[in-house]
Amino acid sequence: MKKHWIAIDWGTSNFRAFLMKEHECLDQISAPCGLLHVPDRQFAATLKPLIGNWLDEFPQLPVLMAGMVGSQQGWQEVPYVALPAGCQQLAKYTAVLETPWGSPCRIVAGVSGNNEFGLPDVMRGEEIQLIGLAARHPAPQNSQYVILPGTHSKHAELHNGEIRQFSTFMTGEIYSVMLSHSLLGRDVPPAPEDEPAFALGVTHAQRAPHLSNALFSARTLRLNGVLAPDQVASYLSGLLIGAELHAVAHKQAWIVGSPALTERYTRAAKQLGITLNSADGNACFIQGMTQIYQCLNGESA
């Protein structure tokens, strides 16, 4: 195994890279260079200057990438790995790429399978944090329930360090499109979070179990003066996060996400009697990539 390598999380909107020495992170960069900002599929030409300083020091540094870079819209499509998926399977199905400057380069596949409701589901990128979480925080009972909040929130069940099942909730995207494009968002000003309005949304999501019905209360509570226009976004967020957490049948779960979302989810979960333990997203990503890199190099993970 080469001592130095690069781990990259290349998603739709963002790009993050970590200069690694074995399992240790020496340096990191992030840039608003997600796939949407790559002109005309010029992935190599976009990547090279981003990691140029590191390549100057270590030419032909191996690169391991994960995220939407392995999707149809990415550098190279990597077919999904089927559930259950652990470190070994993810390492086995990485795709090999050529880079013009000679770095050996691989892209980790996403994961697909049937979710707990029997419908097909997919993830691409989140599997790394899940594998990393399982390694950083091994479960005494071998099972873990993990929430990765976001545009498309993932709820995953881990067993013995493998992803056994997961479900997607379109929480972030529904929030955004309803606020921007539906009656609910009309004349809603940008505003800081309003905790009481958020908490009311969480409560109402439990009371009104049909989301397409519950959402309308973001309108009626404004009509009857319970919500001011600058509280509507927080209420809507509480409704959607509350509806998502309604699907959690555990009293305890992990959450891996941005500090702001983690804080909101933890607050909502507490209202519902669920304790969320927060794990650091970057640390889980680095650990997951290290596990896979070690598998690829024939070392025990």
C-alpha distances in angstroms, 299 versus 117, 275, 287? 37, 36, 14
Examine residue 20 and tell whether it contacts its own copies (CB under 8 A). Answer: no
Q: Is 178 in the site for its own copies (CB under 8 A)?
A: yes
162 interacts with its own copies by CB under 8 A: no
Specify burial of residue 251 (Cβ count, 10 A radius: 0-12, 13-18, 19+): exposed
**Binding-site member from 122, 228, 283, 301 for its own copies (CB under 8 A):** 122
User: What x-and-dash track marks residues 247-276 binding its own copies by CB under 8 A?
Assistant: x-----------------------------
Angle value at C-alpha 245, between 85 and 90, nearest 5 degrees: 10
Does residue 179 contact residue 165 with C-beta atoms inside 8 Å?
A: no
Site size toward its own copies, by CB under 8 A: 45
CB atoms within 10 A of CB 281: 20
Binding of its own copies by 92 (CB under 8 A): no
- Is position 165 an interface residue for its own copies (rule: CB under 8 A)? no
Q: Cα–Cα distance between 268 and 258 in angstroms, integer?
A: 15
CA dihedral 169, 172, 174, 180 (to 10 degrees): 180
| Cis amide prior to 196 (ω within 30 degrees) | no
Q: What is the DSSP string of 14-55?
A: -EEEEEEETTEEEEEEEES--GGGSGGG-HHHHHHHHTHHHH
Q: Is 168 in the site for its own copies (CB under 8 A)?
A: yes
- Judged by CB under 8 A, which of 2, 139, 173, 230 binds its own copies? 173
Q: Does residue 83 bind its own copies (CB under 8 A)?
A: no
**Contact call for residue 127 and its own copies (CB under 8 A):** no
Judged by beta carbon, residue 28 or residue 180, the one nearer its own copies is 180
Nearer to its own copies (CB atom), residue 161 or residue 242: 242
Long-range contacts of the stretch 89-92 (C-beta < 8 A, 24+): 90/127, 90/131, 90/292, 90/295, 91/292, 91/295, 91/296, 92/295
Report the residue from 36, 82, 177, 260 that binds its own copies according to the rule CB under 8 A.
177
Report the residue number, 46 or 171, with the smaller CB distance to its own copies.
Answer: 171
Please report, as residue ranges, which positions from 212 to 251 form the binding site for its own copies (by CB under 8 A): 212-217, 219-221, 223-224, 226, 240, 243-244, 246-247
Of positions 39, 118, 189, 190, contacts its own copies by CB under 8 A: 118
**One residue of 209, 229, 252, 297 binding its own copies per CB under 8 A:** 209
Q: What is the dihedral of CA 281, 283, 286, 290, to 10 degrees?
A: -130
Closest separation between CB of residue 91 and its own copies, Å?
Answer: 23
Residues that bind its own copies (CB under 8 A): 112, 115, 117-122, 152, 167-171, 173-174, 177-178, 180-183, 204, 207-217, 219-221, 223-224, 226, 240, 243-244, 246-247
